[in-house]
Structure 1
Amino acid sequence: MEVSEFDDILDDWFIESLKTYKDLHVYQLEHPTQVIEWTSGKTVCVAGYSPSRNEILELRLPLKLYADENKGLCAERDFKVAHGGFTDSPVRRLKHIPGTRCVVTNDGLTSDLQLWELGGDDSDVIRRTGSVKGGRSASESGSRIAARLSSPPQVLHGAQSSDVQLTEVASGKTLYRLAETDSADLLSSLQFVNDTVFLAGCCNGRVYVADTRKPGAPQLSPPPPSSGESSLWWTDVSASPHVSSCRVVRLSSAGRAVVSDLRNPGEAVSQAQLDVQTRCCGLDDVSVSWAPALKDCVSVSGFSGVVQLYSTSTWRIEPQDARPLFQHRGHAVSSQQNDDGVPASVTSHVWHPERPRTLLSAASDGSVHVWDWVDPDR
């Protein structure tokens, strides 16, 4: 693309963004990240994933984002590095343990976890403090990690459905294991629904729902009926104080999204064919997520340099084509193409836990954006 043509596209998008975003802030990392994890309402952790030495950073979001009035008078408009450290391995997964200043990471190469202390007022250094042994010595894609508020701190982790376990961080003691299953399904997601119930989503579309208080067999739901495609599947469950009102969304690498009730994940409530650029995807490429503070809204990234938001309120049981409610094109538009002609792709995105329309996203060019989008229907 010619420089002048690129500048024109960037200028057009910038003018458009004045109407489509309430807030938009851009930050550039030295190396791209695949993880964005909230450590508080105003700070996030990111980390590099190159094969060699990588940074782990805790970033403080721009103060201007939180200024309710007179935003133009707020001097702090940029991200700030609050704490930082280094690791000699990639960081493919990172999870903050609620109620602590600790994060847990996985390198995507083994099922073992690494423990890190984020530092505090007396230190700006993120340092490694220990490790947690995984269920296997090797793994195809490393362990998935989930954490909840507990005392003492605990983490749920596993690479396959057959080796999911709950571990006490300080002692390394195994508190729970997922009951033996008929097969060792590779996991694409692992998350707590409430204090005891968790969901394990598998890359073949299967879903396990289990309770850490009950040693019996988990509830197993089959993958959505096949339409002839051989797909990877990614899963997310909506946040709710009551399990009965939680919903599961499964997204295939062919762009098919299926919504179901957590009490019966095997039966579709609604489904749609999303308007995504389907391509050959890896297990760590794509992400689908329910909005925590916005009803019936899911976000999708990893198919391209765009983050898409969809309203599921109009989806029906019969499959239909769905158009995005909103698209964040900032990473695709603002990045120059690489030498090999491949544009930047989104590597991670996450919703703000409290602000309904605020998201963070990162891309393969090292860019990190925080944006508050304007609902076009309001």
Structure 2
Amino acid sequence: GLCPERDLKVEHGGFIDEPVYSLKHIPQSSLIVTSGPTGCPLRVWQIGPEDRDVIVPLSTLPTDAGNETWTRTATTPSAPPQILHGSQANSIHLTEIQSTKRIYTLGLSGSDAVSTLGFLDPYTVFVCCRNGRQCMADVRMPGAACEGSVGKHGLSSAAWCAAVNPSKGAACSTVASLSAEGHVCLTDARNLSAPLKCAKCRVPKPAAPEHFLNVCWAPALSDCISLSGFGGTVQIFDTKQWDCAMKEREALFIHRGHSVMGASEAGSEPIVTAHSWHPWKERTVLSAASDGSLHVWNWSDLPEHDGTQL
């Protein structure tokens, strides 16, 4: 396991009097942007030089978060630095960080809560709403380039999140969508309403709270995805052999490290709050849970191997 005194060293730090729900680095800069609960602005910070250990607050950006939503963000390399942000479909903006000028508004209708924002390339953005509504747009042109919904096929009335496969170009990107009831749909970004592959994953119960729902593509393994938010596990799947039939699929590997740590003081099992793949170590995953645990682990799909937590 990780030892705080041995394996973790604070190099830079900053403080704020509100929870941080999201933290994104602005590529090719020393800037980071944080978002928090409803009513909190986006906060822009600057990581100091190597001879200073302070993360300095620079500015704030106003948000339009609704009563039961919080602002999602996405970043991409750009000059000057910009950030895509929004909490509802009709309030998604691209803002220039230094001038705080909104240079693009997506222009969707409706107040559907946003669950995922992302960039397919420096100009193409992807949006997934909690109800399964999805769209792509080019920030150089007004309006959405294409729009669809994974939730309208009766697959699930629960909340959805999504991730775009980073290993493919924007023109033929594959989107993985995950519902809080364990449904997974893979769609071509050019036709977001027509699932190419589907699966029903074994989950102990629907994801709750829904904002911990998370699906990721493995950056260095073809066709592999990972899911979390359903208790204290992270599940890994190979989608190569999937078809469009919605049926139960077996996981390649399940990391149970957080769940075996035991129940919290309140008697509940820890929930995996976030996980992410190492960018080039193809079978290394990082995961964090609601009990404050942080795991870095390797996995294998060999039957005799039960995964190695580093």
TM class by shorter chain equals over 0.9
Q: Any residues of structure 2 matched to 1:308-327 within 5 Å, and which? A: 308-327=235-254
Residue number in structure 2 paired with 1:363? 289
SS of residue paired to 2:258: helix
Q: For the residues of structure 1 that align with 2:24 and 2:270, how far apart are their CA atoms?
A: 25
Q: For the residues of structure 2 that align with 1:342 and 1:299, how far apart are their CA atoms?
A: 23
Sequence identity of aligned pairs in percent? Answer: 38
Answer whether contact 2:74 2:85 (CA < 8 A) is retained. Answer: yes
RMSD: 1.9
Q: For the residues of structure 2 that align with 1:99 and 1:281, how far apart are their CA atoms?
A: 36
The Cα of 1:27 is off from its aligned counterpart by: 4.7
Residue number in structure 1 paired with 2:35? 106
Q: Any residues of structure 2 matched to 1:223-242 within 5 Å, and which? A: 223-227=150-154, 229-242=156-169
- Give the gaps of 5 or more residues in structure 1: 1-24, 29-75
Instruction: Look at both structures and tell me which one has the larger radius of gyration over its CA atoms.
Output: 1
TM-score (norm 2): 0.92
Answer whether contact 1:199 1:207 (CA < 8 A) is retained. Answer: yes
Answer whether contact 1:168 1:175 (CA < 8 A) is retained. Answer: yes
Which of 324, 329, 336 matches 2:256? 329
Q: For the residues of structure 1 that align with 2:37 and 2:210, how far apart are their CA atoms?
A: 11
Residue number in structure 1 paired with 2:298? 372
Answer whether contact 1:224 1:258 (CA < 8 A) is retained. Answer: no
Q: Any residues of structure 2 matched to 1:186-197 within 5 Å, and which? A: 186-197=113-124
Residue number in structure 2 paired with 1:72? none
Answer whether contact 2:207 2:213 (CA < 8 A) is retained. Answer: no
The Cα of 1:213 is off from its aligned counterpart by: 0.8
Say if 2:45 is the partner of 1:116. yes
Q: Which deviates more from structure 2 when the two are superposed, residues 236-245 or residues 184-193?
A: 236-245
The Cα of 1:183 is off from its aligned counterpart by: 1.5
The Cα of 1:224 is off from its aligned counterpart by: 3.7
SS of residue paired to 1:319: coil
- If asked which structure has higher relative contact order (CA below 8 Å, sep 6+), I would say 1
SS of residue paired to 1:185: coil
State the number of aligned residues: 304
Residue number in structure 2 paired with 1:154? 82
Residue number in structure 1 paired with 2:17? 88
Residue number in structure 2 paired with 1:246? 173
Question: CA-to-partner distance for each residue in 1:37-66, whole Å, 9 max, x for gaps?
Answer: xxxxxxxxxxxxxxxxxxxxxxxxxxxxxx
The Cα of 1:138 is off from its aligned counterpart by: 4.4
Q: Where is the helix percentage greater, Structure 1 or Structure 2?
A: 1
Question: CA-to-partner distance for each residue in 1:125-175, whole Å, 9 max, x for gaps?
Answer: 1221111112x2644221100001111100000001101110000000111
User: Aligned letter for 1:291?
Assistant: A
- Give the gaps of 5 or more residues in structure 2: 306-310
Answer whether contact 2:76 2:119 (CA < 8 A) is retained. Answer: yes
Q: Which runs of 4+ in 1 moved over 4 A?
A: none
Q: For the residues of structure 2 that align with 1:252 and 1:267, how far apart are their CA atoms?
A: 16
Question: CA-to-partner distance for each residue in 1:152-209, whole Å, 9 max, x for gaps?
Answer: 1000000011011100000001111002x33221100000000100100000001010
Residue number in structure 2 paired with 1:171? 99
User: Aligned letter for 1:178?
Assistant: L
Residue number in structure 2 paired with 1:278? 205
Answer whether contact 2:227 2:236 (CA < 8 A) is retained. Answer: yes
Q: For the residues of structure 2 that align with 1:332 and 1:258, how far apart are their CA atoms?
A: 26
